[in-house]
Structure 1
Amino acid sequence: MTQADLPAVMSIERATFPLDAWSEGMMRGELAEMPRSRHYLVALVDGEIIGYAGLAAAADQADVQTIAVLEKHQGTGVGGAMLTELLAEAGRRGAREIFLEVRADNPRAQAVYRHYGFEEIGTRRRYYDDGTDAIMMRRNLDD
């Protein structure tokens, strides 16, 4: 992902996360940390950005910062492909485990993460702006 991708990325961000979308400034801040501690990518179909994902990594730990796919492309494997790349990048950076938060009211995303080996480790109460809990998940990368 580059700064030039931000108009398309922000459109997907607002559509996917209408209640708690990141601001463009937040996303620019994330990109400013690439490649030092961040890794962001976009998914393309016929030259159109249809999804994006981001990773934060420090020492032996990494965090999935975000994954979003346009609704009409959800369920096609795009999100899984981006998650696979984030897992690979975390490994390349020496991470031994990777964490994420997922909305408690998003069973579809939770199922995807479980499919990729993530396990629930706790709950962050009222984590999201609308008061929804976040389920914390972890995957050991040494497996």
Structure 2
Amino acid sequence: MRENSARWHIREATFNDVGALVQLEERCFDYSRMGRRSFRRLLAGNTGHVFVCMSEDGALAGYYLLLTRKNSRRWRLYSIATAPESRGTGLGRVLLEHAIHTAQQQGAISLGLEVKVDNTAAISLYEKLHFAVIDLLPEYYDDGTDGYRMRVSFDTSTNQENR
């Protein structure tokens, strides 16, 4: 992990985190927000893996959500968010590296995601960690914005299969 990651503590989310997760969603996104019921369902099930990042003062600094499907080794980064006051600190990269590591440790062969085509900061970070654009998704988001589907493969023998 990066040198400044000591400022944060990443752990699996619990039901006690749901209120703070919903508040963070409202602060970070103006589209496709997840609500209390969605977070509770994901925490109760076995296909969602929600991790929270707490700052030194105990505040929620960010989170990510990985989704899996039964009998699939291709995982999906459904959501990743950093609190506005934590942006520019390297936390996004720390969260993404943690998500990649988590997926790899659980036997995933790849990790995919969707991102708005105009989210250049996120796209740049994803590319630095070897994600590649594999598809254009016209009008993918609620506001009509196009998206990119991106993926990173962990097993070099599956690179052609995952493209």
Kindly state the Cα deviation for residue 57 of structure 1 after the two structures are TM-superposed. 2.4
Distance in 1, matches of 2:104 and 2:49, equals: 12
Q: Alpha-carbon deviations, 1:73-125, whole Å to 9, x = none?
A: 11211111111111111112211111000111211111111111100011111
Distance in 1, matches of 2:68 and 2:154, equals: 13
Query: Which residue of 1 is the match for residue 51 of structure 2?
Result: 41
Query: Which residue of 2 is the match for residue 18 of structure 1?
Result: 30
Q: Alpha-carbon deviations, 1:17-64, whole Å to 9, x = none?
A: 12221222122222122xx32221111111111111011124311000
Distance in 1, matches of 2:115 and 2:50, equals: 18
Query: Which residue of 2 is the match for residue 9 of structure 1?
Result: 21
Query: Which residue of 2 is the match for residue 72 of structure 1?
Result: 85
Distance in 2, matches of 1:60 and 1:18, equals: 31
Runs of 4+ in 1 over 6 A off after TM superposition: none
How many residue pairs get aligned? The number is: 141
| Matched-pair contact (CA < 8 Å) for 1:57–1:93 | no
Distance in 2, matches of 1:66 and 1:106, equals: 14
Distance in 2, matches of 1:8 and 1:126, equals: 30
Return the TM-score normalized by structure 1. Answer: 0.92
Matched, 1:86 2:99: yes
Matched, 1:134 2:147: yes
Matched, 1:111 2:124: yes
Distance in 2, matches of 1:137 and 1:47, equals: 32
Identity of aligned pairs, percent?
A: 31
Distance in 2, matches of 1:24 and 1:129, equals: 20
Return the TM-score normalized by structure 2. Answer: 0.81
CA RMSD of aligned residues (A): 1.3
| Matched-pair contact (CA < 8 Å) for 1:10–1:24 | yes
SS of the counterpart of 1:126? Answer: coil
2:67 to 56, 68, 86: 56
Tell me, which stretches of 5 or more residues in structure 1 are unaligned?
Answer: none
